[in-house]
Structure 1
Amino acid sequence: MSESMSPVPAPGAGLLGKLMAAVRPEFRVDVFIPEPGELIFDLGACRVPGCPRQPRTRQLCRGHYYRWQRRGKPDVEEFIADPGSGPVGRAELTACAIVGCRFGAARQGLCVSHQGFWERAGKPDKETWTAGLPVIEDDGRRVCRLSFCSLWAQGKSPFCHNHRSRWQAVGRPEVKEFVRRCEAAGDDRFDFRPLDGQRQLRLELQYALQCRHDERQVNTHSSAVAPVIRLTAASGTASLLEWPMERWSEYYAAMRGASHSQNGQLAFLRYAYTHLEDLVHGSGWESEFPRDVWELRRLGIEGTRARLRFDRISQTWLRESAKQFVRWRLSIGRSVNQAVVDILALNRFSGFLADPRVAVDKLACVDRTVLERYLADLALDQRSTQSRSRDIGSLNAFFNAVRRHGWDPSLPANATFYPDDFPRPDKRLPRGLAEHVMAQVEQPANLDRWHNPDSRVLTLILMRCGLRVGDACNLAFDCIIRDADGAAYLRYLNRKMKREALVPIDEEVENEITAQQQRVLRCWPGGSRWLFPAPRMNPDGTRPLTTHSYRGQLDRWLERCDVRDEHGRTVHLTPHQWRHTFGTRLINRDVPQEVVRVLLDHSSGEMTAHYARLHDTTVRRHWEKARKVNIKGESVTIDPEGPLAEATWAKQRLGRVTQALPNGYCGLPVQKVCPHANACLTCPMFVTTPEFLPQHREQRQQLLQIVSAAEARGQARVVEMNRQVLGNLEKIITGLESGPGQSEATADAS
């Protein structure tokens, strides 16, 4: 059954009861006026300095916008420099003309009391009469309840004369509500009064607005909601769910015009409809499992709006088992993407079984003979070998699960695929980018062409660290960790393997990440858990940047950089190719494959073998067993069990490959710049092992000769410099020749 033909749930009294229980009192009002500064409703302030009203057009409030129009629409900046008298709608009301009297003027510039006095005096010349009156003293009288009005309250009323008249004119509402409306004059508001005769429809839209408020993700203004209120009020329906969403879309186009700017209006209507469906059907497996289209948000799976569709499986008996299979796969931690792959495989298998030439009407008929016919049919599929293998793997897992869990005991025992049934995979070359292309994308001038600094940092991380783009977009705000040497590592969640991983980073990447953290704190003062929060529809900073958003930015950046291959053709690359390039570069630099496996966080060498042949190496075992000493003769150890053990070893092994010395190894993190201009024997980061003892003894003999000759010539400075190196050599040789315990004792004694 297609989506357009899916049954629409009947609204009924059940939905009205749920709405009455769900909609909070602050939203169940005629006119909803958000509190000042509320996150998703706040539009900021009018551009005119001192005007607290919210902007409507050209970043001006409605009053200043009309004032700008009446002036002939001058340059906006010129208008802002001279907008006229105070904030529109908040100007001070006229006080009584008598000096010191702060009652509001009622008639002819006088308050009610002084107007009566003047009339009883025979209405003399007003200026002469007022000049003869004594100054009125302010004896602590009450002022108007409105914060922007300083006039005295009239009689027992909480308002001044004029504001009391306005309060009476609108029917004397509750004082607190009237004050709130007056003080929010010009601010955004949501007027539900057009739906006065449609109680349930009104509650439905109020519920949608409340959901937007609670989710705190999408900025929502009355410009999007007010047209929806008027549109639904004119529809004559009692509930949004009376019509399918397709009919509402057609009705919207007919009423508003196909070319009319939607400005989020239809999106809000869809949002309201979807959340009403959720309210009707509830959430969790008990309510969602019987449906043929699963909404993953109702199952508590966050971060996706995906649906799992079983309505394309035409056989009821296959569809029910398929739903049990997918529910089980999700419950044991398989990804949503895997569930989609499984359903696609079952969809294709369903189409094969529906062929009249196959004529299979129950699972009991799906035996090995049917599967062999399916394999022959699948071999004619134009898709890649990998896609066909994936289908076979999903179906085999489905048959094994049906048999294991007893979902359908009639499934034949020989309904299975064998290893030989899987098509032989094509030999694929590494998909790393050519160095000609990498030289262009790594150019600082091209990196500076990023319009968004966040994406520039993300690109640098992808190229330097080899992360998958999804893992990089979901980096935590505090993603840098250090080892005992002070070397920085990037900590990330390998979402494919569902585990945390570490990769060494250089100083440039570390500095860029630190700068990115500062940008995040400036944009979201309350902080964000993500290093790369989504830049739009994310007022709380709770959502990370999506891979879809980054890929779009990447395409536009490549166009600006005009990156071309060796044939002059425009280059279109994917973020994952940087991961392949990272691994290929390491292999080409003679970094052992086991080290590459650790840096890429692969589970097995087979995954890393995509980049190079497996090296038969036991370097790590020898490195861990070898006794190492520094320039003081002290033993240097690596914790084999700590959380940084794997990453620390990878750093050390990478250092051995790229920074090996003739008499030892540099223990300085490869991301650091060496601060020692002299020989490494004076460097505290130097590490060596017993295999270099012959070189150390030979160098000691040479140093003794240099020191003796310098002493004979009176070269005190040369003697001093070489004695330091000689002293370090003596400690190293003693440490390597003696046992570990003796080495420690000797070092302490020195």
Structure 2
Amino acid sequence: MAGDQRRLHAIGGEDPIWRLWSQLPEPWKGPVIGDGIEDWDRITENGDRRIDLRGLPDPIPAELAWMSHWQALDGTRSSVLGTNQLANILRRAIRQGHPFPPSIRAMDGETAVALQRWFYATRWGRLPPHGSVARLRVIFRFSRLALLARCSDGPWWALDEWHPRCDPRIPLSEHEPQAHYGCSPSKIGLPWLREAAKWSLGTQLEAGVLRWSTVSQERMRCLVRLDRWLTETSADPLDVLADPALAVQQAAAFRRWDAEPANRLTRRSEQRFATRPVSVRQVNDDLRAVAELFAFVAANPVEAHQILGPHPWSKVTDAHAAGWFRQVARVPGRRELNDEHYVDDHALAQIPAALPLLGLGRDEQMTITRGDGQQVSARGFDDPQAMRMILLQILTGRRASEIRTCLFDCLSAVPDKTIDATEGEAIARFHYAQSKIDIAPDNILVDREVVAVIEEQQQWIRERFPGITPRHLFMQRTGNRQGDKPYPSGTYAWMLREFSSIVKITDSKGKPVGLSHTHRFRHTKLTRLAELGLPVHVLMRYAGHATPSMSMHYIAARQEHAEQAFLATAKLRADGTRVLFSREDHDSLHLFERADRFLPHGWCLLPPLQTCDKGNACLTCSVFVTDASHQPALERQLTETESLIDRATTAFQERHGRSMPEENVWLLQRRAEHAALARLLETIRDKPGRAVQGAGCGTAPTGPVSLTLDLDRHQRTRP
């Protein structure tokens, strides 16, 4: 290649690789790469070995040189061993006349591995070891995608592999500054469907209608499932674009197929979901993705003709989209009491005790008590970052992505703070990585415990990655020389699944709590804040939601809390005994919703469907209750009752010349009210927090009440 440098410097040819090659620093142009490159040992992590590209046909040396340089800029190591091995394979293929693609861009990973198998078989008579195959695949994973993107003169969405890390042309929103995950339109096998999917999704992403996370993690997978359904079940897949009158039937058939868990699996790692029920929402998402694809093509016929050609998409109309939209099912309403995502205190108490196992070294062991009470000894996971991430999720209720990708300097002081930090209250502002809602806030106040976890992680990063300026609080541990890659989401999920399978956390009912489903900690945190009485707008602000209804979706309507909230207000009878409610006594829980049961001096426990005809006789009624909050009103009523009795008995004496008898029907009731008020106030003063029911009625009945039903009353007429 050294003798060809003059020819390779010629710019303006048809192949854009020469433009890229000419922009390389001189030491990276080869044919032997390594000499004169600063920090070569640190860039490659392969000692003083050099990349040897001599004897390879153009443009392969230029491609491999550019890919090696891109790896160095990306922060990963340049694949010296893998590149040299590929060069050796190609040189042997040239000598023996074995065919291979003319360029790296035309050679995918499977073709390269096939060449490697041929190389090992013809030279050593065996298959290549796993390590050699892995080194070769590294070359074709990201650096080749970056090469394809830089050499593409068309729109970015015309490529079959999309990855923002490799193609800076892919638009990202403000909250997606660095997306370290891609998607593969190449998984759609039908060419006409693949091209339409790339055009529609790419155009909507550029227009801001869709976000990268939606396109890569949802829409593309939906259309991949459509491709599988058409390939596996249709004699002619193009029938889906034919008669629009059949669109409803075709959508119904897809809905039934899509509802089978096994049909939704796309990778071997998803086999654990093969028996998990498919929700109505998941099927609806797939139906909408297909319908919106048809609607997009039908709404842009001119562009569709230019990009996709006249066949077969010219047959698609709005009727096709309407037929698929019609199969979107109504989502069943949520249960009134829904605590399936709530993690109770029993489970939360087990998690902190087992978390040190995540940070323990792999050569160390720790004895833990599992949820079933059994003690086991387990090896450490050597991942203190995962330990702190899940702990922060539990303490703050943030999403996994908001913790995993938050910036390194995520704490700031609260200048207008009025709460004394020594009291353990909010002492800092935590800036998390809000990546879902553009208009939502991205910070919350946190207490001393959260600050301690974050500062411990910052210190761990400084010690683990000396000499770099970290971007994220939680970092990828390998292939991250520049410190700009966050902790991978797949690694976090895998680590928590393995950890959960060992510690076997269970709730108070003995139900397993999978720690890899970290969103349940968000439900739990918001539920607890709501139960503390936070106003809705404050709860919405803390959750980072744009609407109150979304915050309410996270609140677990726990029956236990509803009962405790009512029973926490101590209620007493007039004789000083405590009012007890059973778990089945739901009528009393509706009292707070009925203003007609609020009395000036207490509450009426009469069932909502019954009415009262006793008038001013509450103090002698068995369904009347009160508490210390009504003490002033009760004292005033006692004074007024005493005054009323004195005036009435004095007037009786003056009129009749004798004292009012104690068995007088009026005086009897007033004496009972006076005695009830006296006993009630005495109990409230002696035992604050207790209460009274039905002042002059004695103990309320606890057993069934016999009723006599007159079945003929409705047939009578009034005289």
Into which bin does the TM-score normalised by the smaller protein fall?
0.5 to 0.7
Does residue 328 (structure 1) correspond to residue 329 (structure 2)? The answer is no
Between the aligned partners of 2:82 and 2:288, the Cα distance in structure 1 is 47
Mapped contact 1:224–1:265 kept (Cα < 8 A): yes
Does residue 425 (structure 1) correspond to residue 332 (structure 2)? The answer is yes
Mapped contact 2:163–2:182 kept (Cα < 8 A): yes
Question: Structure 1 counterpart of 2:456, which letter?
Answer: A
Q: How many angstroms does 1:558 deviate by?
A: 3.6
Q: Secondary structure at the match of 2:284?
A: helix
Question: Structure 2 counterpart of 1:247, which letter?
Answer: T
Task: List alignment gaps of at least 5 residues for structure 2.
Answer: 1-12, 95-99, 121-126, 171-177, 261-277, 305-313, 361-381, 419-426, 559-631, 633-719
Alignment of 1:667-746 (within 5 A): none
Q: Secondary structure at the match of 2:132?
A: coil
Does residue 495 (structure 1) correspond to residue 435 (structure 2)? The answer is yes
Does residue 485 (structure 1) correspond to residue 417 (structure 2)? The answer is yes
Between the aligned partners of 2:400 and 2:228, the Cα distance in structure 1 is 35
Between the aligned partners of 2:523 and 2:282, the Cα distance in structure 1 is 21
Does residue 390 (structure 1) correspond to residue 285 (structure 2)? The answer is yes
Q: How many angstroms does 1:479 deviate by?
A: 1.4
Q: Secondary structure at the match of 2:430?
A: strand
Q: Secondary structure at the match of 1:41?
A: helix
| Residue number in structure 1 paired with 2:49 | 189
More deviation in 220-229 or 519-528?
220-229
| Residue number in structure 2 paired with 1:89 | none
Identity of aligned residues (%): 18
| Residue number in structure 1 paired with 2:63 | 204
Aligned with 1:342 (options 191, 215, 219): 219
* Residues 35 and 443 (structure 1), Cα distance of their counterparts in 2 relative to 1, 3 Å cut: same
Between the aligned partners of 2:191 and 2:18, the Cα distance in structure 1 is 37
Mapped contact 1:475–1:492 kept (Cα < 8 A): yes
Cα shift readout 1:661-697 (whole Å, capped 9, x = no counterpart)? xxxxxxxxxxxxxxxxxxxxxxxxxxxxxxxxx9xxx
Mapped contact 1:490–1:503 kept (Cα < 8 A): yes
Between the aligned partners of 2:163 and 2:81, the Cα distance in structure 1 is 29
Does residue 586 (structure 1) correspond to residue 529 (structure 2)? The answer is yes
| Residue number in structure 2 paired with 1:253 | 117
Between the aligned partners of 2:72 and 2:237, the Cα distance in structure 1 is 54
Q: How many angstroms does 1:581 deviate by?
A: 1.7
Aligned with 2:93 (options 223, 228, 235): 235
Mapped contact 2:21–2:29 kept (Cα < 8 A): no
* Residues 517 and 396 (structure 1), Cα distance of their counterparts in 2 relative to 1, 3 Å cut: same
| Residue number in structure 1 paired with 2:480 | 538
Q: How many angstroms does 1:611 deviate by?
A: 3.5
| Residue number in structure 2 paired with 1:24 | 25
Mapped contact 2:149–2:167 kept (Cα < 8 A): no
Mapped contact 1:389–1:422 kept (Cα < 8 A): yes
Mapped contact 2:200–2:296 kept (Cα < 8 A): yes
* Residues 14 and 378 (structure 1), Cα distance of their counterparts in 2 relative to 1, 3 Å cut: same
Question: Structure 2 counterpart of 1:338, which letter?
Answer: T
| Residue number in structure 2 paired with 1:274 | 144
| Residue number in structure 1 paired with 2:169 | 300
Alignment of 1:369-380 (within 5 A): 370-371=247-248, 373-375=250-252, 377-379=254-256
Q: How many angstroms does 1:303 deviate by?
A: 2.7
Between the aligned partners of 2:133 and 2:109, the Cα distance in structure 1 is 18
Mapped contact 2:389–2:403 kept (Cα < 8 A): yes
Q: Secondary structure at the match of 2:553?
A: coil
| Residue number in structure 2 paired with 1:51 | none
Between the aligned partners of 2:191 and 2:118, the Cα distance in structure 1 is 39
Between the aligned partners of 1:399 and 1:221, the Cα distance in structure 2 is 44
Q: Secondary structure at the match of 1:504?
A: strand
Question: Structure 2 counterpart of 1:609, which letter?
Answer: M
Q: Secondary structure at the match of 2:77?
A: coil
Between the aligned partners of 2:58 and 2:200, the Cα distance in structure 1 is 43
Mapped contact 1:188–1:222 kept (Cα < 8 A): no
* Residues 425 and 292 (structure 1), Cα distance of their counterparts in 2 relative to 1, 3 Å cut: farther
Question: Structure 2 counterpart of 1:433, which letter?
Answer: V
Q: Secondary structure at the match of 2:444?
A: strand
Between the aligned partners of 2:191 and 2:28, the Cα distance in structure 1 is 46
Question: Structure 2 counterpart of 1:267, which letter?
Answer: R
Does residue 468 (structure 1) correspond to residue 375 (structure 2)? The answer is no
Q: Secondary structure at the match of 1:563?
A: coil
More deviation in 463-472 or 256-265?
256-265
| Residue number in structure 1 paired with 2:519 | 576
* Residues 510 and 465 (structure 1), Cα distance of their counterparts in 2 relative to 1, 3 Å cut: same
Aligned with 1:314 (options 175, 190, 199): 190
Between the aligned partners of 1:309 and 1:393, the Cα distance in structure 2 is 18
Q: Give me the CA root mean square deviation.
A: 3.9
Question: Structure 2 counterpart of 1:249, which letter?
Answer: V
* Residues 506 and 356 (structure 1), Cα distance of their counterparts in 2 relative to 1, 3 Å cut: closer
* Residues 40 and 575 (structure 1), Cα distance of their counterparts in 2 relative to 1, 3 Å cut: farther
TM-score by length of structure 1 reads 0.53
Mapped contact 1:437–1:565 kept (Cα < 8 A): yes
Alignment of 1:620-635 (within 5 A): none
* Residues 537 and 289 (structure 1), Cα distance of their counterparts in 2 relative to 1, 3 Å cut: closer
Between the aligned partners of 2:451 and 2:459, the Cα distance in structure 1 is 13
Q: How many angstroms does 1:426 deviate by?
A: 5.8
Q: How many angstroms does 1:510 deviate by?
A: 0.9
Cα shift readout 1:2-58 (whole Å, capped 9, x = no counterpart)? xxxxxxxxxx97266346424432123354236463474265xxxxxxxxxxxx8xx
Between the aligned partners of 1:319 and 1:503, the Cα distance in structure 2 is 43
Q: How many angstroms does 1:234 deviate by?
A: 1.6
Mapped contact 2:145–2:161 kept (Cα < 8 A): no
Between the aligned partners of 1:449 and 1:30, the Cα distance in structure 2 is 45
Question: Structure 1 counterpart of 2:346, which letter?
Answer: H
Mapped contact 1:529–1:542 kept (Cα < 8 A): yes
Q: Secondary structure at the match of 2:65?
A: helix
Does residue 436 (structure 1) correspond to residue 436 (structure 2)? The answer is no
Mapped contact 2:161–2:186 kept (Cα < 8 A): yes
* Residues 544 and 34 (structure 1), Cα distance of their counterparts in 2 relative to 1, 3 Å cut: farther
TM-score by length of structure 2 reads 0.55
Question: Structure 1 counterpart of 2:550, which letter?
Answer: M
Aligned with 2:244 (options 335, 355, 366): 366
Q: How many angstroms does 1:423 deviate by?
A: 3.1
Q: Secondary structure at the match of 1:425?
A: coil
Q: How many angstroms does 1:506 deviate by?
A: 1.1
Does residue 514 (structure 1) correspond to residue 446 (structure 2)? The answer is no
Does residue 454 (structure 1) correspond to residue 361 (structure 2)? The answer is no
Q: Secondary structure at the match of 2:442?
A: strand
Does residue 504 (structure 1) correspond to residue 363 (structure 2)? The answer is no
* Residues 300 and 241 (structure 1), Cα distance of their counterparts in 2 relative to 1, 3 Å cut: closer
Q: Secondary structure at the match of 2:429?
A: strand
Cα shift readout 1:329-385 (whole Å, capped 9, x = no counterpart)? 212332334224334444555667786689865857435x52355236524633321
